[in-house]
Chain A
């Protein structure tokens, strides 16, 4: 018996890389051969509550964090700002105004977003807010204008094998990175790496640097799962309209 188990184990060890390779081979592709990320995606992680590892709190479920090395390398003054944000997050988090969540927060916010893909671009429609992000993959560069300040940044992507690498610049400072008050300045620069682990699982990795806020670049990694419920679709959530919804009952006779 023991010998049999060992043989099976050996076989399994031999087959595992093969199974992994087959999963890679089964990923959907566009006619161009590039991986096709089209679909509706959402994380199951607690990243939006706090990017860093944290125990359960009144305002957050526990989470292992998604930061490589566990700690975001703040500059001293920025760390103080982060602490102030944390203390006042229940009123100052831009999420509460339903403003566009930004990059990368929109990716790991716990509401779905849909990816639409053409050879020339990858379009991300977020259920939350009203934001649509275009990742240009047509060889164009960041705008020459240097005074652009966008919620989502300006995204230019290229393919490295089956990985979409996206350079994101030209941010404003209206967005946070999570509910715990982690933040950035307009100098934020994000480099994302998107790849399919299998047909229904997207791996999202990003390096964030910001000389005004962080002492060095740092990395995050999160898994996104494909929504496979029958007929699943985004349901618009322009929740900033809820502040004035009461004023607009449908006129009645």
Chain B
């Protein structure tokens, strides 16, 4: 089964989320409600001490299922605005910008990626060709089941965090990341990876991860933002002591492409047994327990047939 139907779900969710963002833009998330569906605000979380549960090796225990609360990767800087130029009228953003979630660019304050002029032109070229890709490079790699990469992967489907002595394991819908917490050196610079190479450590409630060896092929969203394989990303996963949320805050430095370092912020909320699995944020299934307890688990994550309209114009030769 894998994700054969995930494309359909994504389209439905995209359409539904844009519609919802119009209908409910002013409506605050109900506390204690059983869906995260869509939020228009980023809940601030301060860096500081961790007062919650810990694992036996001392790490804050942040294991579980998580999802971003804003939107998918259709639009990096106007996350609930749909992909500009979408021929489907229902997928177009309506209403004033301020009723939608803020840009994922939290610094600079204008919410724009500080591209150098040539790089802005490359981003615009990708976006201009996204809805009718006439060349293979205009098909977003994620549509071909390539890993979403760092940091886009946090805007794709929900994901799971598992922790072990010296490791945090991130399991995404399109691939995995092993965060090494044991201080070993990064891979040699000549190795470039979709999900990059991660070295982390804990500072109080914050998991700090140094990310290098990025192959930079993934694009940040359907809007075409990108960096080069010179990019250096410092991630800060700032966890709320109530265990229910974290903010993913990434400082992205790449003098090849940008005029200055910039910061991305993606709000994330934990799945709890009170939530209703929706096949996107929380692709979990009730486990077959013998004592009647409700316990959710995730089936295998394998994406080989996610070639929907965003990618079906360029099916790879080995895929029939």
Contact = CB atoms under 8 A, between A and B. Distances in A.
Interface of A: 31, 38, 96-97, 99-100, 114, 116-118, 123, 125, 130-134, 136, 138-144, 148-152, 154, 172, 231, 233-236, 238, 240-241, 243-245, 247-248, 250-253
A244 B141 CA distance: 8
B184 A233 contact: yes
A38 B171 contact: no
Interface residues on B, range: 35 or more
Given A97-B319, A132-B171, A140-B289, A241 B144 contact: yes
B299 A231 contact: no
B226 interface: yes
Contact of A238 (B2, B119, B175): B175
A100 B305 CA distance: 13
B178 A234 contact: yes
16 contacts: A97-B318, A100-B304, A117-B164, A131-B300, A140-B295, A150-B1, A151-B302, A233-B180, A235-B193, A236-B193, A238-B146, A238-B194, A241-B144, A243-B319, A251-B228, A253-B116
A245 B191 CA distance: 15
A240 B287 CA distance: 31
A241 B141 contact: yes
A248 B175 CA distance: 18
Given A143-B285, A233-B187, A148 B299 contact: yes
Which 7 residue pairs are nearest across A and B when measured between Cβ atoms? A247-B136, A248-B217, A243-B316, A251-B122, A141-B288, A140-B287, A231-B184
Contacts of B301: 130-132
Contacts of A136: 287, 297
A130 B153 CA distance: 14
Given A140-B297, A245-B217, A248-B217, 16 more contacts: A97-B304, A116-B169, A125-B169, A125-B178, A130-B147, A133-B300, A140-B287, A140-B289, A144-B288, A150-B300, A235-B193, A236-B194, A241-B144, A241-B194, A244-B314, A248-B141
A165 B144 CA distance: 36
Nearest to B217: A248
Contacts of A139: 289-290
Interface of B: 1-2, 56, 116, 118-119, 122, 135-137, 139, 141, 144-147, 162, 164, 167, 169, 171, 174-176, 178, 180, 184-185, 187, 191, 193-195, 215-217, 226, 228-229, 256, 285, 287-290, 295, 297-304, 314, 316-319
B176 A130 contact: yes
A240 B144 CA distance: 9
B164 A116 contact: yes
B288 A143 contact: yes
A245 B146 CA distance: 10
B288 A31 contact: no
A98 to B, nearest CB: 8
A251 B115 CA distance: 13
Contact of A38 (B137, B164, B184, B191): B164
A116 B184 contact: no
Contacts of B139: 247
A92 to B, nearest CB: 11
A148 B1 contact: yes
Contacts of A247: 135-137, 139, 314
Nearest to A148: B1
B34 to A, nearest CB: 23
A98 B139 CA distance: 20
Given A38-B164, A130-B174, A150-B299, A240 B145 contact: yes
Contacts of B299: 148, 150, 154
A123 B191 CA distance: 25
B162 A152 contact: no
B24 to A, nearest CB: 33
B63 to A, nearest CB: 8
Contacts of A144: 288
B297 A244 contact: no
B178 A114 contact: yes
Contacts of A133: 300
Contacts of B116: 253
Given A116-B164, A130-B303, A247-B137, A149 B178 contact: no
A250 B216 contact: yes
Nearest to A121: B162
Contact of B191 (A114, A132, A231, A235): A235
Given A123-B169, A139-B289, A141-B290, A130 B175 contact: yes
A205 B44 CA distance: 51
Nearest to B56: A31
A123 B162 contact: yes
Contacts of A149: 1
Nearest to B164: A116
Contact of A244 (B1, B136, B162): B136
Contacts of A125: 169, 176, 178
A142 B288 contact: yes
Contacts of B287: 136, 138, 140, 143
